[in-house]
Structure 1
């Protein structure tokens, strides 16, 4: 699925308000920054995750993302225990920009209540519609030279 030139793989779940994607992996969840998140942040210079084993409450940060002009807390759309951070991304944060849906994943969580949390996430056309509305509210202009459209 594409929206304004940005890819949103249809096999993933999305939390548009957090600019994140989620992928079920057994009884754990892998989380990463969406293509839209990459586009609005631009080049990512650092990702500093919380420590493995840390319990993350919903809406609380699982790490800090540093980009050209600022830093932002990467907030979790669900509660759970941080099982692992992507050490490759910690060493080379540009992986997030280069392959946000693959090698650029950020953290793996053990959700507290995955069945309930899963119902709050979006997929398919519902996810695209939510990202389109978020882009509209953000005043996102994919033609802006300061925006990094990923292909």
Structure 2
């Protein structure tokens, strides 16, 4: 799936209010920043995650993302225990911008209540509609040069 040329892979789940994607694996969840999140932040210069083993409450930070003009807490859409952060991203944060759905994943999490959390996540057309609305509310300009670098069309 694409929206304004930004990719949103069909097989992933999304938390549009957090600009995050999630993938359920056999041993937990993998989380990362969406292409829209990358377009919104611009070039990412640092990612500082919480420590492995740290319990994260819903809506609380699992790390800090630093970009050109500011820093922002990466808030979690569900409660759980941080299993691991991506050491490659900590060392080379540009991986988030270069491959946000692959090598640029951010953290792995063991959710406290996956069935309840899963019911709040979106996929497919519902995810695209939520991101379209978010882009509208944010005044997102898909023709901006920074966005063009992320286009998948």
Q: After alignment, is 138-147 or 37-46 more displaced?
A: 138-147
Q: Whole-Å Cα distance in 1 between the matches of residues 50 and 40 of structure 2?
A: 23
Residue 104 of structure 1 pairs with residue 78 of structure 2: no
Structure 1 residue 144: Cα displacement = 2.0
Q: Whole-Å Cα distance in 2 between the matches of residues 62 and 131 of structure 1?
A: 22
1:115 counterpart SS class: helix
Q: Whole-Å Cα distance in 1 between the matches of residues 115 and 30 of structure 2?
A: 15
The aligned residue for residue 93 of structure 1 is 93
Contact 1:142/1:149 (8 A) holds in 2: no
How many residues are aligned here?
Answer: 151
Change (3 A) 1:61 1:23: same
Structure 1 residue 146: Cα displacement = 4.5
Q: Whole-Å Cα distance in 2 between the matches of residues 89 and 145 of structure 1?
A: 24
Structure 1 unaligned residues grouped into runs of 5+? none
TM-score (ref. length: structure 1)? 0.98
Q: Which runs of 4+ in 1 moved over 3 A?
A: 146-149
The aligned residue for residue 12 of structure 2 is 12
Contact 1:5/1:149 (8 A) holds in 2: no
The aligned residue for residue 43 of structure 2 is 43
Contact 1:84/1:108 (8 A) holds in 2: yes
Q: Whole-Å Cα distance in 2 between the matches of residues 34 and 72 of structure 1?
A: 15
Alignment of 1:42-61 (within 5 A): 42-61=42-61
Q: Deviations over 1:89-133 (max 9, x none)?
A: 000000000000000000000000001000000000000000000
TM-score (ref. length: structure 2)? 0.96
Contact 1:29/1:110 (8 A) holds in 2: yes
Q: Whole-Å Cα distance in 1 between the matches of residues 100 and 149 of structure 2?
A: 12
Structure 1 residue 27: Cα displacement = 3.7
Residue 142 of structure 1 pairs with residue 147 of structure 2: no
